[in-house]
Homo-oligomer: A and B are copies of this chain.
Amino acid sequence: MEADLATALVRLAHVVDHVFVAAGRAHDLPPQQAQLLCMLIDGPVGMAELARLLRVERSSLSGLVDRARRRGLVDRVRDDTDGRACHAVLTPEGERIAVATHRAVTGMLDELAAELTAAERSRLAAGLFRMVAAHAD
């Protein structure tokens, strides 16, 4: 029944959101800032790209980065090739917390999936990725 899948998806989104709340709380971080940090683990990201990834307006992102910056977790670096652009980048302290947060989130989610077999987990991930891919913005 389609209704069941929709319900399952909504419930699961709730759980995932809660996982970010819990992970952030370990470092006194609001969930949005925790997610921001996780987005920067692989390296600096431009503001426009970051806003797209987080699905927030660029103006909202400015404030989010400001607050994380005030905590000493991120910095802004200018783009060499484009005078308008800048990138958000983790500070050493931000890097430490970002990695710990990402590990905590992944750990909690994997723990929830621990009851499933490896094959089930693979199928689940594959199905979810197909749905996410279908979400053409």
Contacts and interface: CB of A to CB of B under 8 A. Distances in A.
Interface stretch (A80-88, A92-100, A128-136): A128-136
A123 interface: yes
A136 B84 CA distance: 48
Given A10-B16, A131-B15, A131-B116, A5 B105 contact: no
Size bin of chain A's contact surface: 35 or more
Contacts of A15: 131-132, 135
A20 to B, nearest CB: 8
A128 B120 CA distance: 11
A6 B19 CA distance: 11
Interface of A: 2-18, 21, 55, 105-106, 109-116, 120-125, 127-132, 134-135
15 contacts: A4-B129, A5-B122, A5-B124, A6-B110, A8-B124, A9-B109, A9-B128, A10-B105, A10-B109, A12-B13, A12-B131, A113-B134, A115-B131, A123-B123, A123-B124
